[in-house]
Amino acid sequence: MNHRPRKRFGQNFLHDAGVIRRIVSGIAPKPGDRLVEIGPGQGAITRELLRALGEMDAVELDRDLIGPLAQLCAPLGKLRIHNLDALGFDFCSLAQADRPLRVVGNLPYNISTPILFHLLDQAHCIKDMHFMLQREVVERMAAEHGSKTYGRLSVMLQARCEVIPLFDIGPGAFTPAPKVDSAFVRLLPHTTPLYQIDDYALFRQLVTAAFSQRRKTLRNALRSLMTEEEITAAGQSPGVRAEQLSVAAFATLANAAACKSASAS
């Protein structure tokens, strides 16, 4: 397929056969899976997945790739291509009651975090997710509290999913070669919530506020949501910074803030 990668779409096409095999092996596609690929590009992974599945969906924004991709994959099975922006796509529309969705993709570095948050909102219909991402992003996704890489992305993902980094991928596996290393990661949405979160929107607001200025302590960062006394009553020290709190601690704080909000209304 002769297609010049477009910078505005963040396109870096995978071409390394060994890496492709490792990725497909990690995904382990089986006939009957409801699988959708985000950004199939030139079909390097799509072709191997389609061979194993017989049919699948793909979401591709670049319309110039649609025709060549469809032609390339036609002999391998049924590929349903949705020429839409993944950031606004209703992924749950592809799932079935007895077959939750499997999501895979080589996510553009410039919009990877917004896509992850968009998928979190639909995690109830997703079985698992496998993504190629900038290695730094994967490190943040899997970071433990107390580390410098732990932040909003870590908390929001780990509240809803198990994050499992699988392996690193060098720049040479892509065309054009990115200036950063990549990594392949698995996300498993919790079928039973690990943390009781009474108001998810408020939880998201509180986590965002806590990490908005990392050097601020909780008493300052959460001033618009909770008083120092309320933070203490929730079992946390107002003098610590957000990176020192576990996901469970954030859930406890958010539930206390939700209880306060409900009492006031």
Mean pLDDT of 71-90: 96
pLDDT at 9: 42
Q: How confident is the model at residue 263 (pLDDT cuts 50, 70, 90)?
A: low
Tell which of 189, 215, 230 closes a domain: 189
The answer to whether the beta carbons of residues 183 and 135 sit under 8 Å apart is: yes
**230 and 177 both lie in a single domain:** no
195 in any annotated domain: no
Which domain covers residue 60, as residue numbers? 7-189
Query: In the structure, what pLDDT confidence band is assigned to residue 265 with cuts at 50, 70 and 90?
Result: low
Domain boundary among 170, 189, 208: 189
Q: What is the mean pLDDT of the chain?
A: 91
pLDDT in tens, 11-34: 567 888 999 999 999 999 999 999
Whether residue 152 is found in the same domain as residue 238 = no
Question: What is d(CA 151, CA 144) in angstroms, rounded to the nearest whole number?
Answer: 9
pLDDT value of position 42:
85
| Domain co-membership, 37 together with 168 | yes
pLDDT value of residue 8:
44
pLDDT at 4 over 90: no
User: What would the mean pLDDT of 46-74 be, rounded to a whole number?
Assistant: 94
* Mean of pLDDT values over 172-194: 90
Same domain, 65 and 155: yes
Kindly state whether residue 180 falls inside one of the protein's structural domains: yes
Same domain, 35 and 98: yes
- The total number of structural domains in the chain stands at 2
pTM of the model: 0.91
Q: Is residue 76 part of a domain?
A: yes
As a whole number, mean pLDDT of residues 53-62 equals 95
29-51 pLDDT, tens digit each: 999 999 999 999 889 999 999 99
**Cα–Cα distance measured from residue 222 to residue 101, given in angstroms and rounded to the nearest whole number:** 36
Residue 66 resides in a domain: yes
* More confident site: 111 or 33: 33
* Domain end (from 189, 208, 237): 189
